[in-house]
Amino acid sequence: MEIIVLPDSDAVARTAADIIEERLRRGPAVLGLATGSTPLGTYRELIRRHREEGLSFAQAQGFPLDEYVGLPASHPQSYRSVIRDEIADHVDFAPGAVHGLDGEAADPAAEADRYERAIAEAGGIDVQILGIGTDGHIGFNEPMSSLASRTRIKTLTAQTRQDNARFFDSLDEVPEHVLTQGLGTILEARHVVLIGLGKAKAAAIAAAVEGPLAALCPASVLQLHRHATVLVDEAAASRL
Ligand code: GLP
């Protein structure tokens, strides 16, 4: 694991954008796109580079990492909407190049298989951007997720529903189930970039980076990855 501590969230966003830009400039790239507030600065920086510096996504494909079960694609908090609104609609992805998970699929297991096949057909993910939950989850792989898991349906913990309630009108509206890339799926990305911002993530970052490899902290599985970069601001690094 490569740990890079940067002074603030802007510096983290620029460094994450540098990694993605470098890969985009090398040719057709497959990007794994996380939601949550953490990657938003990175997406804003990529949009700026697209507009001002001609950075192109025309040859790239994108795979949103996870999705709420039961929300239609048009719901503003579905992760398909969030990825469209925060990045995809503002750059030049080709039509159909961003492949979300369908949270309304009648058969979630079949949808998970379809999504895994789509990643394989794209040639695998080149750069996977990740945030981290306060309980150490990545994607929606909650504590005790199998370290070898594939894309599947999961039940959210009360903690994660509470953490994400700020995006909804009330806690009751936060879905209880999600589809998420598994930890085994995430490990197959060629480069994983985990971003942690702010004091609220300090304990989870410390457990992921310095704690034991344990299903209790799903992000600790990245200790097994051959090319994992952890980008943190000073606050998120404060317990390292
Ligand atoms: C959600 C997402 C994760 C994200 C996490 C942290 O649970 N599924 O991918 O990392 O939230 O969110 P935030 O970046 O808003 O703190």
State the Cα–Cα distance between residues 103 and 190, nearest whole angstrom: 26
pLDDT of residue 145: 97
pLDDT of residue 240: 97
pLDDT of residue 156: 95
Residue nearest to atom 9 of ligand 1 (CA): 139
pLDDT digits (tens, 9 = 90+) for 116-165: 999 999 999 999 999 999 999 999 999 999 999 999 999 999 999 999 99
The catalytic residues are 66, 135, 137, 142
State the Cα–Cα distance between residues 109 and 206, nearest whole angstrom: 33
Calculate mean pLDDT across residues 35-58.
97
Q: How confident is the model at residue 233 (pLDDT cuts 50, 70, 90)?
A: very high
Q: How confident is the model at residue 231 (pLDDT cuts 50, 70, 90)?
A: very high
pTM, 2 dp = 0.97
**CATH for 27:** 3.40.50.1360
Q: Give a yes or no: residue 18 inside a domain.
A: yes
Q: Give a yes or no: residue 238 inside a domain.
A: no
CB-based pocket (< 6 A), ligand 1 = 34-38, 65-66, 131-133, 139-140, 160, 164
Tell me which residue range forms the domain holding 11: 2-233
Q: Give a yes or no: residue 240 inside a domain.
A: no
Q: Can you tell me which atom of ligand 1 is nearest the CA of 178? A: 8
pLDDT of residue 155: 96
Q: Give a yes or no: residue 239 inside a domain.
A: no
What is the percent of the chain where pLDDT is above 70?
100
From the CB of residue 10, how many other CB atoms can be counted at a distance below 10 Å? 13
pLDDT digits (tens, 9 = 90+) for 168-186: 999 999 999 999 999 999 9
- In terms of phi and psi (left: phi > 0; alpha: psi -120 to 50; beta: otherwise), the region of 191 is beta
Q: How far is the CA of 124 from the centre of ligand 1 (A)?
A: 22
**How many structural domains compose the chain?**
1
Q: How confident is the model at residue 50 (pLDDT cuts 50, 70, 90)?
A: very high
State the Cα–Cα distance between residues 128 and 64, nearest whole angstrom: 10
